[in-house]
Amino acid sequence: MSNQIDVRGLSCPQPVLLTKKALADNPEKLQIVADNDVAVENISYFCKKQGYKIDVTEDGEEYQIIVSK
């Protein structure tokens, strides 16, 4: 079971807040689409601190972040 959230265009701290809420459901995998560096940075930092693995791929002006256990 995987979840997806879209944080494109959202400013700090919403991307991390939405990630935090999505992770509260304890998903196997979380897919996040983002479009600014600060959001990617903050989400990655938060998830790593929570003990998750992060895989970020840049696709043009967007980023796909895969969060997994």
Q: Which residues bind another protein (CB under 8 A)?
A: 8-14, 16-17, 20, 36-38, 41-42, 45-46, 49, 61
With b meaning 16 or more CB within 10 Å and e meaning fewer, what string describes 5-16? bebeebeeeebb
In the complex with another protein, the residue whose CB is nearer, 32 or 42, is: 42
Rank residues 38 and 55 by Cβ distance to another protein and give the closer one: 38
**Closer of 18 and 66 to another protein (Cβ):** 18
Cα dist from 59 to 1, 34, 36, 62, whole Å: 24, 10, 12, 5
CB of 52 to another protein, least distance (A): 14
